[in-house]
Structure 1
Amino acid sequence: MGTYNKGILGPFSGKVGTVVGANWRGKFIMRSLPVKTDRLPTNTQLLQREKFTLVSEFLTPMSPVITRYYGLNTGDKTRMNQAMSYHLKEAVTYVDPDFIIDFNKVQISKGDLIGVQNPTVAAVGSDSVKYNWLNNSGQGAAKATDQLVVVLYAPLSGLYYYLLTAAARVDESVTVVLPTFFNGLEVQSWITFASEDEKSYATSIYMGSVVVS
């Protein structure tokens, strides 16, 4: 792949002969057309594709959280790219014949802000899940106004629910009321803190599973 600024016909997009032109991150790039092959993928390649698809489909519904709070946008590697890389290496286990997500290793955010201290979670009825924590504002850059971010996931139904401003660090507890279709489902959840301006955020904590009642 190469970049270009000027050409005989100027910038272009689409296929021209044996190359493809496109605009990517404000730069004009050219790449050669892929070479067609009749070779069948190996078992290793098939497994890698399966693993990649699993992680991509798992993370995509959480992209509004990940694209805000996962690492830094540096160079060509977006926050989602970084999250994909981490989860492919650290948060997937192969249990023949399938790959599965290790929920306890999942991260919805990755940063240097002081995180949630001594958190607990419980289903409290009326389609609600309650989180408690200690107010540790004043530690490092932690502030009372830092916002609690919550992501819940019901594996059997593939349902997701998230809140970017569930509560403030100083509140020490919040009850999240879920849509009624979560009733009776087991949900996994993760929480983290982000500053009000979203410029700093903590690495998330896995809260385990509860059954919504």
Structure 2
Amino acid sequence: MGTLINGLFGGFHGRVGNLVGYTLKGKYVLRTIGKSNKPLTPARKANCQGMTVVNEILKPSLQAIRVGFRLAVAGTDKNEYNEAVSYNKKNALQGAYPNISLDYSKVLLSMGNLPVALNPSISQAAEKITFNWEVTDSWASEYASDRAMVVIYFPDIQKAFHQLIGAKRIEGKDVVTISSEHINERMEAYISFVKDDGRRISNSVHAGSLNAVSPVTTEAESEGEIKNQEVITVLDSVCETVQKTETRDSSGSLSGLHKYEHPDVINDPNKDSKERTARPGS
């Protein structure tokens, strides 16, 4: 059911028949839902898997994405999440379908023109995760008060931990505390800097990995082939589902496989957090 906004001639939220309406950055967006009869070509399957892989790290990192890409989309109709998806699909994927995966060293969780963290690294002591970076004399005045924003992603459980307002750049390190349940999980860590007035931000930098385990080679080749075929079957099923729900916007352009609009971003695209307390992502 759709809800009329501002009467008959206003926009509406919800679904009426094949029409879906919602508000994005103060503008009413209207799309149609249709069924595509196009075949699932290798390129479409690769695109579908690429979207799935990218969303695995971006969805639990949503709060950091809102802050990290806010300035990159300022003054446009784009939202932070879509911009992050677009960049990482183009730059952070590796491999070919059905074995597409993330190159964690190339993932970007913030985008801006502040100087990035110089030679960052991480270390662990139980629940304490320490981020270190180099401090140079050239930063002593202009960038000394920049605040660190850190994200720790746990690939095996697809959860993320973030601290949006951390230590000052001049301090050279920041220490965060993660849940004791996650101390042995694999971690991929990222750090960026935000101007103390929030008007500038740096690109994020991959600070390192913790508890990473080398891939195990299966002795039985046939078993590996069976597992690979199972993955292909699951991915094909997902792609078919996405294909059936492709949408077209008011201009007629295809959007179903190219945009992912997280509901929270649509409802509150400019929401930002000013808390220093680190919070785990869902």
Q: TM-score range by the shorter chain?
A: 0.7 to 0.9
Q: What letter is aligned with 2:45?
A: L
**Could you tell me which residue of structure 1 aligns to residue 92 of structure 2?**
91
Shift, 1:23, TM fit: 4.2
| Larger helix share, 1 or 2 | 2
Q: What letter is aligned with 2:116?
A: G
**Could you tell me which residue of structure 1 aligns to residue 9 of structure 2?**
10
Answering whether residue 44 of structure 2 is matched by residue 55 of structure 1, we say no
Alpha-carbon separation, structure 2, partners of 1:52 and 1:89: 10
Alpha-carbon separation, structure 1, partners of 2:96 and 2:66: 30
Runs of at least 4 residues off by over 6 Å: none
Residue 137 of structure 1 contacts residue 169 of structure 1 at CA under 8 Å; is this kept in 2? no
**Could you tell me which residue of structure 2 aligns to residue 180 of structure 1?**
180
Give the SS at the match of 1:98: coil
TM-score, scaled relative to structure 1:
0.81
Q: CA RMSD in A?
A: 2.9
Residue 134 of structure 1 contacts residue 172 of structure 1 at CA under 8 Å; is this kept in 2? yes
Greater RCO (Cα-Cα under 8 Å, separation 6 or more): 2
Answering whether residue 73 of structure 2 is matched by residue 72 of structure 1, we say yes
**Could you tell me which residue of structure 1 aligns to residue 155 of structure 2?**
155
Alpha-carbon separation, structure 1, partners of 2:171 and 2:165: 12
TM-score, scaled relative to structure 2:
0.63
The alpha-carbon distance between structure 1 residues 37 and 119, as it changes in their structure 2 partners (threshold 3 A), is closer
**Could you tell me which residue of structure 1 aligns to residue 116 of structure 2?**
115
Q: What letter is aligned with 1:189?
A: A
**Could you tell me which residue of structure 2 aligns to residue 204 of structure 1?**
204
Shift, 1:96, TM fit: 5.0
Alpha-carbon separation, structure 2, partners of 1:25 and 1:208: 35
Alpha-carbon separation, structure 2, partners of 1:158 and 1:96: 21
**Could you tell me which residue of structure 2 aligns to residue 103 of structure 1?**
104
Instruction: Give the total of aligned pairs.
Output: 205
Residue 68 of structure 1 contacts residue 198 of structure 1 at CA under 8 Å; is this kept in 2? no
Alpha-carbon separation, structure 2, partners of 1:185 and 1:147: 27
Alpha-carbon separation, structure 2, partners of 1:152 and 1:16: 41
Give the SS at the match of 2:100: strand
Structure 1, gaps ≥5 residues long:
1-5
Shift, 1:141, TM fit: 8.0
| Larger strand share, 1 or 2 | 1
Alpha-carbon separation, structure 2, partners of 1:29 and 1:174: 42
Identity %: 26
Give the SS at the match of 2:167: coil
**Could you tell me which residue of structure 2 aligns to residue 189 of structure 1?**
189
**Could you tell me which residue of structure 2 aligns to residue 134 of structure 1?**
134
Alpha-carbon separation, structure 1, partners of 2:19 and 2:181: 49
Shift, 1:192, TM fit: 0.9
